[in-house]
Amino acid sequence: MSDFYRVPEGEEKRNLYQEAEVRIAGLLCGEPDPVARMAGVVAVLHGAMPHFFWTGFYRVSGGSLVIGPYQGTPGCGRIAWGKGVCGTAWVRGETQVLRDVHDFPGHIACDARSASEIVVPVFDRAGAVVAVFDVDGLEVGAFDAEDRVGLERILNMVFSR
């Protein structure tokens, strides 16, 4: 496990999300290109959050999820409708928080070191899911309600405004 990897708790995690949200709002301002917007979100969050081991977008494209901007070890390129944690978040339109990825039977392991995961659906203005945002952690229980709230607030800025 990386020396830099650690799971922040409570108020520290909340503050990290608030700071990241301000930085991301600044990056998105005046930038209409969707790839540039996604890349900025990934770069800020992956750098700011010490418990993010893999951070990235999968875009809805041609009936599948296709990998988009990400940081971390090489991710799986495509995920079919309803498959894995990402496909489940896409189909249900609901954030999935996995305390332990091994408890989710259909989990797709792109890197065997991933132990926990959060996947947030990303909506367009019409309310359709256009992408999912996926984060993997190295420890069981890295993600909680603080991550869900912080990430949903940030991702709500990417395609739906």
Binding site residues, ligand SME, CB under 6 A: 54, 75-76, 79, 84-86, 107-108, 110, 114, 117, 134, 136
In angstroms, give the least distance from the CB of 98 to ligand SME: 9
Amino acid letter at 103? D
Which of 95/114 has CB closer to ligand SME?
114
- Name the residue nearer to ligand SME (CB basis): 1 or 22: 1
> Looking up tokens 């995961």, which residue turns up?
117
How crowded is residue 83: how many other Cβ atoms within 10 Å of its Cβ? 18
Q: Give residue number: closest CB to ligand SME.
A: 84
Residue 84 beta carbon to ligand SME: minimum distance, rounded to whole angstroms: 3
Helix, strand, coil percentages (3-state) for the chain, rounded to 5, are 35, 25, 40
Q: Quick one: how far is CA 116 from the chain centroid?
A: 12
Q: How far is the CB of 85 from ligand SME (least distance, A)?
A: 4
CB of 140 to ligand SME, least distance (A): 14
SS (H, E, C) 138-150: CCCCCCCHHHHHH
Q: Which is nearer to ligand SME, 40 or 75 (CB)?
A: 75
Both tokens assigned to 137: 């952690």
Shortest Å distance, C-beta 87 to ligand SME: 6
Nearer to ligand SME, 70 or 159 (CB): 70
Pick 26 or 77: Cβ nearer ligand SME: 77
Angle at 81 between CA 75 and CA 84, to 5 degrees: 50
Q: Are 105 and 72 in contact (CB under 8 A)?
A: no
